[in-house]
Structure 1
Amino acid sequence: MVRYLQRLEQLAPMGYTAGIHIRFASPLYLRSTYPKAWQDLYAANNYSLRDPLVFWGVSKSGQIRWSEINLPDPFGVMKLAAEHGLTFGAVCSCGKITSRTIVGVARSDREFTDAEITEIASIADALHEVTEPPEDLTPAMIEALRLVGAGVRHTTAAAEIGISESALTARLSSARDKLGVKTTAEALRMAREFRLI
């Protein structure tokens, strides 16, 4: 995932927002590199519920320049964004309506080219694919991760669950394998991002 986000940073000089696997109005993973002042204003006014870019991304799949979106903007979100240097941009949306990924990118100097938008759409697709939450983690693995993530020592966690310490270690190892990571710390980070713990 990191390399895709790094490439977005290169393509979007004024930043990007990636909302991955948006379900029930909440993304599984959210990252924004837009200017902090804009992020603060956006959050304080809950603009995600009023943003025509979000409406477009939720209702459609594909890619579009901000300037081509023909939706009402009664709260002037786009004008305010431009005042923060987010003058030109694009939105790329993919996935089912029940689990949508939306990536918005911005620049201050010019429109994004067709080739850039195509690459950003490919990145959105890749982020959607690699961030699919694992469905094969067992409740036992999740419980082991939850306890270790809460700072409980292995011996105490094993006793709390009613298993041996080696069985706890085996569950953590299986969880790492299912999540495709090498360390328990990485497994904990991913489990938190996927809201499993």
Structure 2
Amino acid sequence: MSARAEINAILSKLNPLAPKGYFIGLHIRFAAPIMQFQTYSKEWADHYSTKAYALRDPMIAWGFSTNGAVRWSAVPVPDPFNILGDAASFGMKYGVAISHGPISSRTIAGLTRADREYTDSEIEQISKQIRLLHELTEPPESLTKAQIEALRCIAEGDRHAAAAAKLGITESAFKARLISARERLMARTTAEALQRAKEYRLL
């Protein structure tokens, strides 16, 4: 099973556990996740963004302070902007926050529902899936020489035929190198692979 398929399988297990949506920020570095997934309503996502809540969210503050899991109702972090109260008005009344990984590459997730608190067993199940996602999306420490050469050609603006000629390989071999680079970087497109390679300082 490909990494992308494994990620989708994990997300499909989380969907029924978060009827009012979730947000998962994977490997947050320099204040931004390298990959994120969100199923919150568009109304809440727009409201959250307009209010710049990410800078003030007690869930995120808690997530950067520790590893583990906590119900929203028990978060030991002040909420002076009443973000959790605001979320409840959008039907997100109960939630759980999960934090995992080193501070230099932390994964933080929030899942929510409208009807009741999460049970201990549900929180354990969610925590396990978030840890799996974190491990599955761990950025590679290196690329092969062939992958780096192929991505550099694209970065320099070469078309596939020209890049293949420059490297002394067939065009199909060049495309195969790009595909392997995309798979290693878990990117959907070559442009996304190039961006990730730069972010991970692999080029």
Normalised by the length of structure 2, the TM-score is 0.82
SS in 1 for 2:197: coil
Contact 1:88 1:111 in 2 (8 A): yes
- Which aligned segments of 4 or more residues in structure 1 are displaced greater than 4 angstroms? 146-152
Q: Which amino acid aligns with 2:184?
A: L
The answer as to 2:118 corresponding to 1:112 is yes
The answer as to 2:193 corresponding to 1:191 is yes
Question: 2: distance between equivalents of 1:48 and 1:143?
Answer: 38
1:154 to 153, 156, 160: 160
SS in 2 for 1:195: helix
For structure 2, the residue ranges without an aligned partner over 5 or more in a row are 1-6, 199-203
Residue in structure 1 matched with residue 4 of structure 2 by the alignment: none
Identity rate of aligned residues, in percent? Answer: 47
Question: 2: distance between equivalents of 1:54 and 1:180?
Answer: 26
The answer as to 2:69 corresponding to 1:63 is yes
SS in 1 for 2:110: strand
Question: 2: distance between equivalents of 1:150 and 1:18?
Answer: 33
Q: CA RMSD in A?
A: 2.7
Residue in structure 2 matched with residue 87 of structure 1 by the alignment: 93
Q: How many residues align?
A: 190
Normalised by the length of structure 1, the TM-score is 0.84
Question: 2: distance between equivalents of 1:99 and 1:128?
Answer: 9
SS in 1 for 2:99: strand
Question: 2: distance between equivalents of 1:13 and 1:65?
Answer: 16
1:122 to 84, 109, 128: 128
| Structure 1 segment 1-197 matched on structure 2, within 5 A | 1-138=7-144, 141-145=147-151, 153-159=159-165, 162-166=166-170, 168-169=174-175, 171-172=177-178, 174-175=180-181, 179=184, 186=188, 188=190, 191=193, 195-196=196-197
Question: 1: distance between equivalents of 2:19 and 2:191?
Answer: 28
For structure 1, the residue ranges without an aligned partner over 5 or more in a row are none
